[in-house]
Chains A and B, each alone.
Chain A
């Protein structure tokens, strides 16, 4: 039996959809069977980021309202085997779905797939509750800024209240240079406040935007810092022990660039 993991944050724009797309793809690349669910009803975009927009025929709303079977609503990824997308309805609103209905979908899917990842909408209202309703675990995505962390903290409290105790952190858009200059909170400062386990750190990577626009998740661009980070996180999700690199690794890169610019 698989695991249902909600990917959530409280604040919008911190990288939930990016993380869902990349972790889903990465897990499928290391031979796990995966469904990613867009729970951002009304503002769906996981299909766009995955480059599957044109293939979406049915959505979770159609499943709930029994217009089609769950299996039939799943869209197969174009690039990797065993990766499916369940899209969100664009026409509906977040409170058109009830937590029990999401739960039912998740229950069914985890019988067949290793991982069910749910891309949660921002906020703490109905949409968030629906997204979290069927989850066994949670991944909190935050950027290293005070307001995102405050919202993440709020969400952690709500998840714990709901009985979800396995909550891990993905720290996104960390910029080693900014941290070094004291202009951005570092990993440890964030962990100090949120006090949950760190699943991984994804650096600020301009490749993310390009990949989002092309509809090809970044993990397909082997070697980019963001892709490497998501691959490591996916491996940790499968239970592999992979150390979280300290920032020197990235500093090394920055130093190298520095060296080049000094020797031009």
Chain B
């Protein structure tokens, strides 16, 4: 499902195109073509960042890539970020299991997980909050509905409204939903507003704070 060469991610500061370092310009362009043409919403006019590790792409290659994105997709490249091996890009660096296993084994907060299970859909105008731990929702969170938790937020349905995990500042908190199409996500003080009208992707997703202090959203595979 994931394109192995390029990934598109929405972060707090906008769209990022993340490029696998071990490929040539041609492969990158072909992969971009496949990724962007397969999308159900046009990105024209959007500004985009390019993230990558030190790569075989020469600065000339990069210029060509910018031209390619501008000419073919009407995208505005607002920055090129090259991460070196140590200071890794959040997506490339953090394994999907990272922050969750951390929070599960984090027992220096003994009664932190006074968690809550909610067996209903959170509808417009309703708020569910669990200020002592995490919350699991057996239902949806609809637009106009809100879930707030000191810990994680797990929605066993569609998250279409607002979710604020780690309200007291625990940045290792995560938000997981079977369908993650929220209006707003917040973890601690970081916020992520996905593009309007985003369609469900058909697989569960996880949102968490990455190394760059931005909320990363990606496919949720396992704990």
Chain A residues within an 8 Å CB radius of B145: 153
Query: Are B143 and A150 touching (Cβ within 8 A)?
Result: yes
Known: A150-B124, A154-B123, A154-B144. 4 other contacts (CB 8 A): A124-B125, A150-B143, A153-B123, A156-B123
Chain A residues within an 8 Å CB radius of B121: 195
Query: Are B144 and A150 touching (Cβ within 8 A)?
Result: yes
Chain B residues within an 8 Å CB radius of A193: 140, 142-143, 160
Task: Classify the secondary structure of B's interface with A.
Answer: loop
What CA separation (Å) do A151 and B160 show in the bound complex?
A: 15
Interface range on chain A: under 10, 10 to 19, 20 to 34, or 35 or more? 10 to 19
Chain B residues within an 8 Å CB radius of A245: none
Q: Nearest chain-B residue to A195 (Cβ)?
A: B121
A157 within 8 A of B: yes
What CA separation (Å) do A193 and B181 show in the bound complex?
A: 12
Query: Are B124 and A154 touching (Cβ within 8 A)?
Result: yes
Query: Are A195 and B124 touching (Cβ within 8 A)?
Result: no
A193-B160, A195-B121 are known contacts. Are A157 and B140 too (CB-CB below 8 A)?
A: no
What CA separation (Å) do A192 and B143 show in the bound complex?
A: 12
| Residues 136-166 of chain B, each 1 if its beta carbon lies under 8 Å from chain A, else 0 | 0001101111000000000000101000000
Q: Shortest beta-carbon distance, B103 to chain A, in Å?
A: 30
What CA separation (Å) do A195 and B126 show in the bound complex?
A: 15
Q: Shortest beta-carbon distance, A194 to chain B, in Å?
A: 8
Chain B residues within an 8 Å CB radius of A156: 123
Q: Shortest beta-carbon distance, B127 to chain A, in Å?
A: 10
Chain A residues within an 8 Å CB radius of B142: 150, 153, 193
Q: Nearest chain-A residue to B139 (Cβ)?
A: A195
Chain B residues within an 8 Å CB radius of A192: 158
Task: Classify the secondary structure of A's interface with B.
Answer: helix
Binding site for B on A (CB under 8 A): 124, 146, 150-151, 153-154, 156-158, 160, 192-193, 195
What CA separation (Å) do A97 and B207 show in the bound complex?
A: 48
Q: Nearest chain-A residue to B140 (Cβ)?
A: A195
What CA separation (Å) do A165 and B144 show in the bound complex?
A: 21
Chain A residues within an 8 Å CB radius of B139: 195
Q: Nearest chain-A residue to B179 (Cβ)?
A: A192
What CA separation (Å) do A198 and B182 show in the bound complex?
A: 25
What CA separation (Å) do A124 and B142 show in the bound complex?
A: 18
- Cβ contacts A to B, 20 pairs, < 8 Å: A146-B143, A150-B142, A151-B124, A153-B123, A153-B124, A153-B142, A153-B145, A154-B123, A154-B124, A154-B125, A154-B144, A156-B123, A157-B124, A192-B158, A193-B140, A193-B142, A193-B160, A195-B121, A195-B139, A195-B140
Q: Shortest beta-carbon distance, B80 to chain A, in Å?
A: 37
Chain B residues within an 8 Å CB radius of A124: 125
Q: Shortest beta-carbon distance, A169 to chain B, in Å?
A: 13
List the 4 shortest-distance A-B pairs measured between CB atoms, nearest first: A157-B123, A154-B124, A153-B124, A154-B125
What CA separation (Å) do A192 and B145 show in the bound complex?
A: 15
What CA separation (Å) do A154 and B124 show in the bound complex?
A: 5
What CA separation (Å) do A150 and B126 show in the bound complex?
A: 12
What CA separation (Å) do A158 and B126 show in the bound complex?
A: 9
What CA separation (Å) do A158 and B142 show in the bound complex?
A: 14
Q: Nearest chain-A residue to B121 (Cβ)?
A: A195
Q: Nearest chain-B residue to A152 (Cβ)?
A: B124
Q: Shortest beta-carbon distance, B53 to chain A, in Å?
A: 40
Q: Shortest beta-carbon distance, A191 to chain B, in Å?
A: 12
Chain B residues within an 8 Å CB radius of A160: 120
Q: Shortest beta-carbon distance, A149 to chain B, in Å?
A: 8
Most chain A CB within a 10 A radius of its CB, from B142, B143, B144 = B142
What CA separation (Å) do A178 and B14 show in the bound complex?
A: 33
Q: Nearest chain-B residue to A124 (Cβ)?
A: B125
What CA separation (Å) do A156 and B121 show in the bound complex?
A: 10
Chain B residues within an 8 Å CB radius of A158: 125
What CA separation (Å) do A146 and B197 show in the bound complex?
A: 11
A157: contacting residue among B126, B143, B158, B160, CB under 8 A: B126
Chain B residues within an 8 Å CB radius of A151: 124
What CA separation (Å) do A150 and B120 show in the bound complex?
A: 17
What CA separation (Å) do A154 and B160 show in the bound complex?
A: 14
Chain A residues within an 8 Å CB radius of B120: 160
Chain B residues within an 8 Å CB radius of A153: 123-125, 142-145
What CA separation (Å) do A229 and B143 show in the bound complex?
A: 29
Chain A residues within an 8 Å CB radius of B140: 193, 195
Chain A residues within an 8 Å CB radius of B123: 153-154, 156-157
What CA separation (Å) do A193 and B143 show in the bound complex?
A: 9
